[in-house]
Chains A and B, each alone.
Chain A
Amino acid sequence: MLKAYEELRAKSDEVWKNTQARTVIRVPIATCSIAAGARETLEALESAVKERGLDVDVQTVGERGLCWLEPLVEIVKADGSAVLYEHVTSDKVEQLLDEALDDVSADLAFAVVEGTDVEGLQRLDDFDLWALQERRLLLRCGIIDPDNIDHYIAHGGYSGLAQALDQSQEEVIQTVSDSTLRGRSGSAFPTGTKWEFLRGKEREPKYLICNADEGDPGAFVNRILMECDPQSVIEGMVIAAHATGATYAFFYLREEYPLAIERMEKAVEQARERGLLGDNILESGLSFDMKIWVGAGSYVCGEESGLLASLDDERGMPRIRPPFPADSGVFEQPTNVNNVETYSDVTLIMEKGLEFYNSVGTEANKGTKIFSLSGHIQRVCVVEVAFGYPLRDLYHAVDPATYQERRKLKALQAGAALAGILPTHIALKLPLDPEAFKPHGVLMGGGGLVFIDDTACIVDLNVMFSWFLEDESCGRCTTCHGGTQRMSEIFRRIGRGGGKSNDYDKMELLGQALQYSNCIHGSASPTIMLRSAEYFREEIDQHINEQRCAAKVCRDLIRYEIDSDSDSDKLPEAAAICPTEAVVQEDEKWSIDQSKCIKCNACKDVAPDAVRIVDAFDVLPLTPVGASATA
């Protein structure tokens, strides 16, 4: 097996070596960079290079996760020196080629990756948000072409499989168990134990599932892996097949990730061509294949039994357990479900060994975890850190301005709609370890971290999350479909100023009732509501008792007014943009017709100084609600 691998490796090394013979311009093509215009950059680069007759290669790579710098183009020269250039949109391409091929473009450069120092330019390894990372699973992201299996193999790909194939099933499972690897979706079930369940089943065929239905809003961890290093996931699945005796896999991928679908399909095809999927893999006698199976938009299909129902020609309604998937999964056959990152971790464990894998992390969770960071931060990004890394340090690196007291961070929402919400004073003290989150009544979840500052309203966030949970409830359990509806209603009513003092009792009761749901969608759905009532009581109280939304978000508790003292030059423009003709002028006096205003903020967008958002507590010459100023 190792011999078959060595042959593959030798060929791939040759392919990779050839890419280094001359200057390479690496253009990241992944969802974040595409949104920033990377496809146009790639096109412009390719045609400019051709036009100029330059002796350089333009290569597609995945992204590094530094989303706010995209398109983040790297120029690697034949002498090995490499520099990253930020925001290289298509209009910057000529400048880049003019300045960066013979020298370094000081204007566009972001950091030196390899080679000698450049005056006035930081090194990537010294950049705070890079230096704090422990890049293992993401190591190849942004370096290799995801559509080229040779690039993957030349960077150590499939050596983990080759080593696993030389071990018995028990040995592989023991190694996975010793690594403490737990499901990375947030469920945190020990992976080795799950595999042992499947290995022990005699009924054949056995199936593997890759859960790539990453539906948590604000989580895009698995997307990066699938788009930028797809083979690492496939390799982990082949290792799992060897360890458990599974012969076929369904790769359940959400439809909302079209590029990931495209990349994974190509990756499966290439793995098949190289004999890494199919019959007699690496001449080991192992037979295993898989299919990329595209979902159709359902959050609850991320729950493993909902996913199985969805595969089995049903609506994606989570099933009642037992039987568990290891006994009766897809087609009622023994099945194992893991998520994308978990399989990638397996690849890493087999490739680099336990000692390396376990060298970072906490007692309960060794290794690393990928996080996607969004919300009120300057640097939207995907990072990989060792378990236990201090959340405060990560936050300071992704939002240096807030660190300098620009705004006040109010809350952290980790792990999306089911996991909970924490106030800053608790959240920023935590290490990034699931065990540390639990005592506070929340989960760390699958890797999404949404930072929330004091421009947000906790009631409004609850309206959003409870509605999401209501909308995505499969409808099986009355507790869940009824309970999530009641949650929505309560928060909407509070947001309208109709909150009652006994609403907290209702929340508590709902929290209890929802526990009696079949799956985690129901039982965990009250988490955000309950944590909000616990940690953000004062803010909710203000809505209930004073009909006041301090953040001025809840629409029924605020109104837009023209500030009579201000310069009104921009007001004709505000009147023109208003979709409901609510900005009116009578006798040269401007006002907002409250009966027409939908509070969309468009007038304030164009005339920020002339329009004010006020609530009942603001003191200024007010127009009574529903009447025009001149009436």
Chain B
Amino acid sequence: MLDTEATLEIAELVAEFKPGNADLIPALHKVQHRYGYVPREAMGVVAKQLRLGEAQVYGAVTFYSELRVIPPPQTRIDWCSGPACRLKGGENVRLALESVLEIGMEENTAGDKVGLHLAQCNGTCDFAPQIWVDGKVVGPLTAADTITLARELKEKN
């Protein structure tokens, strides 16, 4: 693989990590923290650094749901898929989001303005059904609330 400016930058970023040292996920976190996702080029660089096959790194990146392979949206909506949310109308919230934004889970609207991510329960179930908008809990939501919010986000961008 040819070194480019981008790969050299990534190589420097992950230089502290060592093979056989439980460093794969920490290295990928560091890359994602910098770029907002794990770019294709980074997988080769991380593989080289940790003496792993590139396929192993790709395998790991796509195995874990919090590692992204597409650039992050400007506004990120995490939809809670947990049971308390489901019981209180979480599916209505999802349908409303997908319908207004015209995207599915793990997709971004055109120009990466707004993105949807299927998230796991972290126990703020008093707010069920809830979403996180850029990490902040919003709930309890009706479908109508959700539509209003999604339309605002869509128009703002």
A interface residues, Cβ below 8 angstroms from B: 31-32, 34-36, 67-68, 70, 215, 217-220, 223, 250, 255-258, 293-299, 310-316, 330-331, 372, 374-376, 380, 413, 416, 450, 452, 455-456, 460-461, 464-465, 468, 474, 577, 579-580, 598-602, 605-606
Contacts and interface: CB of A to CB of B under 8 A. Distances in A.
A577 B96 CA distance: 10
Contact of A602 (B23, B86, B125, B147): B147
Contacts of A255: 29, 66
Contacts of B56: 313-315
5 contacts: A217-B82, A218-B125, A220-B125, A577-B148, A606-B144
Nearest to B29: A294
Nearest to A467: B81
B121 interface: yes
| A218, A331, A374, most chain B CB atoms within 10 A | A374
Given A312-B22, A465-B83, 12 more contacts: A32-B123, A293-B22, A295-B64, A296-B29, A296-B67, A297-B66, A372-B123, A374-B123, A450-B84, A464-B81, A464-B86, A579-B99
Interface in B75-106: 81-84, 86-89, 92, 95-96, 99-100
Nearest to B146: A602
Contacts of A601: 89, 92, 142-143
Which residue, of A70, A310, A605, has the highest number of chain B Cβ atoms within 10 A? A605
Interface string B116-154: 000111111111101000010101001111111000000
B60 interface: yes
A374 to B, nearest CB: 4
A606 B81 CA distance: 24
Interface in B41-81: 50, 52, 56, 59-60, 63-67, 81
Contact of B120 (A215, A331, A474): A215
Contact of B84 (A215, A313, A374, A600): A374
Given A217-B83, A375-B84, A380 B65 contact: no
A35 B126 contact: yes
A32 B128 CA distance: 12
Residue in B19, B63, B123 with the greatest tally of chain A CB atoms within 10 Å = B123
B104 to A, nearest CB: 13
A605 B149 CA distance: 15
A468 B63 contact: no
Contact of B24 (A313, A372, A461): A313
Contacts of A218: 82-84, 121, 123, 125
A70 to B, nearest CB: 8
A456 B20 CA distance: 48
Nearest to A315: B63
Interface of B: 19-20, 22-26, 28-29, 50, 52, 56, 59-60, 63-67, 81-84, 86-89, 92, 95-96, 99-100, 119-128, 130, 135, 137, 139, 142-148
A375 B22 contact: no
Contact of A250 (B22, B87, B99, B147): B22
A553 to B, nearest CB: 8
A453 B16 CA distance: 52
Interface centre among A68, A602, A606 (most CB of B within 10 A): A602
A294 to B, nearest CB: 6
B99 to A, nearest CB: 4
Nearest to B51: A313
Given A297-B65, A380-B126, A599-B95, A313 B22 contact: yes
A147 B33 CA distance: 24
Given A218-B125, A602-B143, A296 B64 contact: yes
A293 B26 contact: yes
B87 A257 contact: no
Q: Which of A223, A376, A600 has the most CB of B within 10 A?
A: A600
A484 to B, nearest CB: 15
Contacts of A598: 95, 99
B65 A68 contact: no
Contacts of B67: 296-297
A413 B86 CA distance: 13
A130 B121 CA distance: 25
A70 B125 CA distance: 12
A156 B113 CA distance: 51
Contacts of A310: 25
Given A313-B52, A601-B92, A35 B99 contact: no
A605 B96 CA distance: 12
Contacts of B100: 579
A494 to B, nearest CB: 16
Contacts of B146: 602
Contact of B95 (A450, A461, A600): A600
A464 B94 CA distance: 13
Contact of B119 (A256, A372, A450, A605): A256
A600 B96 contact: yes
A220 B22 contact: no
Contacts of A580: 99
Contacts of B96: 579, 600, 602
